Amino acid sequence: MGVYSTLSDTFLPPNRPSALEHPDVILNYIHSELSAGHYTGPFSPSRLQNLIGHFRTSPL
């Protein structure tokens, strides 16, 4: 679906300030997703890039 192109760089924008103001909400969500098997990791950016190539993220 959509346009497919190869990424030429990795893009990691910073999280929004609210993610730092409410870390318990973010951590609870991440733990629930990990428990459900929806996430793998955690991976450092360099480790993930070695595994899958360039990637882009969306800020929390």
pLDDT of amino acid 1: 66
pLDDT of amino acid 42: 85
Domain enclosing residue 28, as ranges: 17-52
Whether the predicted pLDDT of 60 surpasses 80? no
Return the amino acid letter for 55. F
| The total number of structural domains that make up the chain | 1
Whether 9 maps to a domain, the answer reads no
Confidence category of residue 14, pLDDT binned at 50, 70, 90: very high
Q: Are 60 and 14 in contact (CB under 8 A)?
A: no
Whether 42 maps to a domain, the answer reads yes
pLDDT of amino acid 19: 85
Whether 29 maps to a domain, the answer reads yes
Condensed to tens digits (0 to 9), the pLDDT of residues 34-51 reads 999 998 888 999 999 999
